[in-house]
Amino acid sequence: MQFMIGRNGNDELNRFLLAVDMVLILLSVIFSRGIGRFLSPVALVLLGFTYYRMFSRDLIRRSDENARYFRIRERVLSALRVRKEQWVQRKDYKFFVCPACKATLRVPKGRGKIKIVCRKCGNSFMGKS
């Protein structure tokens, strides 16, 4: 315990890197002849980087890396939540992307060819629902 005082330890980014490392090691064992020969060194380097982060005393830089990981993870999870919600609503609504501002727009299905007005930027375009 005395050794770890003032060191980063095991944070969320390290847990994610260890999980990726386990998958790479498993894939390198399964595909030992082809791509497995290239995955083993990658897994070893990733494991070394994970331990480097764990024993690092540069707490500010490691916490910045961890915060960056959380931002990226939240962006990815948010996009997946939106895709899931669109999948659930696919029978009742059709989704369009505004060509001007790239906002996602939802219109009811079965209305034929309609003029769609973006609520965010006011751009209008035609679309078939």
Residues 55 and 2 in one domain: yes
Tell me what pLDDT residue 37 has.
Answer: 83
Tell me what pLDDT residue 7 has.
Answer: 77
Residues 82 and 96 in one domain: no
Residues 74 and 111 in one domain: no
Residues 47 and 103 in one domain: no
**Per-residue pLDDT tens listing for the chain (129 residues):** 777 777 777 889 999 999 999 999 999 988 888 888 888 889 999 999 998 998 888 888 989 999 999 999 999 999 999 999 999 999 999 999 999 898 899 999 988 999 999 999 989 999 998
| DSSP three-state, residue 57 | coil
Residues 39 and 51 in one domain: yes
Tell me what pLDDT residue 117 has.
Answer: 92
Evaluate whether 114 touches 96 at the Cβ level (below 8 Å).
no
Q: Which regions of the chain does DSSP assign to beta strands (E)?
A: 93-97, 104-108, 113-117, 124-128
Residues 81 and 95 in one domain: no
Residues 70 and 36 in one domain: yes
Residues 25 and 63 in one domain: yes
Residues 32 and 69 in one domain: yes
Evaluate whether 36 touches 28 at the Cβ level (below 8 Å).
yes
Return d(Cα 32, Cα 118) in angstroms, integer.
Answer: 53
Q: Determine the Cα angle at 121 with ends 92 and 87, to 5°.
A: 25
DSSP summary character for residue 7: S
Q: Determine the Cα angle at 83 with ends 77 and 84, to 5°.
A: 90
Task: State which residues form the domain around 129.
Answer: 91-129
Return d(Cα 52, Cα 49) in angstroms, integer.
Answer: 5
